[in-house]
Amino acid sequence: MPRRRLSERQIERIERIQERRRRHLSERTQAVLAEVEETQPQEGLVVVRHGANLAVEDSAGQVHHCLARQNIGHPVCGDRVVWQPTGPGQGVVTAVLPRGAVLSRPDYAGRDKALAANLTQVVVVLAPKPEPSEYLLDQYLVAAENMGVATLILGNKMDLLDRAGRDALREAFAHYAAIGYRTAWLSLREDRDLSPATRHLAGHTSILVGQSGVGKSSLIQARLPHREIQIVRLSQATGLGRHTTSATTCYRLPEGGYLIDSPGVRSFRLGDIPLADLERGFRDIAPYLGHCRFANCRHEQEPDCAVKAAVAEGKVHPARLATFRHLAASLEGRAG
């Protein structure tokens, strides 16, 4: 994937604009803070973040439109926070509680930006159309491995294929199941019972990722009959109107747990992660690394390559090695 680099001047310009916004916002926040009476601090969950606007759900399930106090970092969807009401349906966030697993990706300047916090599962959604990208899938899996969370590969839109097509698609992803990744196949359009696929969501805080058009938002809609109501509530809370759907949003599942829909993750790519993290991210290849004849083996044409031997023995799928080599080479390119 080409890495889009902005020029120094472009980055400076963006930062100037952001600084101006921050100043403006800080004035607004100060004004709000001045009005905070002696209200009781409460714990809440960030369900939407849109720029500086946060929708925070309280323990009773009510959503409040909040601004964040300066210098508390950048709360994101899924963050547990401390907040205080400032008026009906409004409040100010005064602290972000310690985070669990975070999914982040590089911003325009290559710095890691958190997308969602306190995740326990990454759900990679794919479909016959748009054509699945194993390269993208593998990058999500590397991220999930390093976050230490569960993963689920969810193939949707199976109604688009005939029987042979379905078998072929499952077969094409069978090597992921063979290395321990849970996979499930469904059609949100045709299946009456979604539970064989969606039972893996209960109790988890899952972020849905995957190419545009694979059916992430449709899954939320199917799982949450009251989604529209929630969206209206969130929209009122954030003042975002219908555009809430374009921001990362956290939905409470009726069976317990949360689903996070993130349109922003479509163009996911790994940041400048250390090589060791990349290696750990390939659970099938990792055991063979360090066992090649040459310490700096690239697992290409070198003799006595333990990884190539594993491929030859059918223990590592060649496509996985291809992705690994590609990602390792691009990390090297960045470092140099």
Interaction of residue 215 with ligand GTP, rule CB under 6 A: yes
d(CA 193, CA 222): 11
Query: Least CB distance from residue 216 to Mg ion, whole Å?
Result: 5
**Minimum CB distance to ligand GTP smaller for 84 or for 206:** 206
Q: How many residues bind ligand GTP (CB under 6 A)?
A: 16
Sign, CA dihedral 94-97-98-102, equals negative
Enumerate binding residues for Zn ion (CB under 5 A).
Answer: 292, 297, 299, 305, 307
Query: Least CB distance from residue 144 to Zn ion, whole Å?
Result: 25
144 binds, options Zn ion, ligand GTP, Mg ion, none, Cβ within 5 to 8 A by partner type: none
Interaction of residue 189 with ligand GTP, rule CB under 6 A: yes
Angle at 63 between CA 48 and CA 69, to 5 degrees: 65
**Minimum CB distance to Mg ion smaller for 260 or for 311:** 260
Interaction of residue 218 with ligand GTP, rule CB under 6 A: yes
Enumerate binding residues for Mg ion (CB under 5 A).
Answer: 216-217
Q: What is the pattern of x (binds ligand GTP, CB under 6 A) and - over residues 241-280?
A: ----------------------x--x--------------
d(CA 237, CA 135): 38
Q: Give the pairing type, strands 205-209 and 258-261.
A: parallel
- Give the count of beta carbons closer than 10 Å to the beta carbon of residue 257: 16
Interaction of residue 42 with ligand GTP, rule CB under 6 A: no
- Identify which of 271, 238, 259 has the alpha carbon closest to the alpha carbon of residue 114: 271
Name the amino acid, one letter, at 101. Answer: A
Query: Least CB distance from residue 137 to Mg ion, whole Å?
Result: 18
φ, ψ (nearest 5 deg) of residue 8: -50, -40
Query: Least CB distance from residue 185 to Mg ion, whole Å?
Result: 20
Q: Evaluate the omega torsion of the peptide bond into residue 88 and state whether it is cis, within 30 degrees of 0.
A: no
CB-facing half-sphere around the CA of 180: CA atoms within 13 A: 8
Interaction of residue 214 with ligand GTP, rule CB under 6 A: yes
Of the candidate residues 86, 118, 139, 187, the single one contacting ligand GTP (CB under 6 A)? 187
Residue 108 contacts by C-beta under 8 Å, 6 or more apart in sequence? 4, 6, 11, 14
d(CA 274, CA 335): 10
Q: Which two tokens stand for residue 274?
A: 């250390």
**Minimum CB distance to ligand GTP smaller for 75 or for 215:** 215
Query: Least CB distance from residue 315 to Zn ion, whole Å?
Result: 14
136 binds, options Mg ion, Zn ion, ligand GTP, none, Cβ within 5 to 8 A by partner type: none
End-to-end CA separation in angstroms for the chain: 17
Q: Give the pairing type, strands 121-126 and 205-209.
A: parallel
Query: Least CB distance from residue 289 to Zn ion, whole Å?
Result: 8
Name residue, tokens 């926040």: 29
Q: What is the pattern of x (binds ligand GTP, CB under 6 A) and - over residues 142-181?
A: --------------xx-xx---------------------
Of the candidate residues 68, 76, 93, 188, the single one contacting ligand GTP (CB under 6 A)? 188
Return residues touching ligand GTP (CB under 6 A). Answer: 156-157, 159-160, 187-189, 212-218, 263, 266
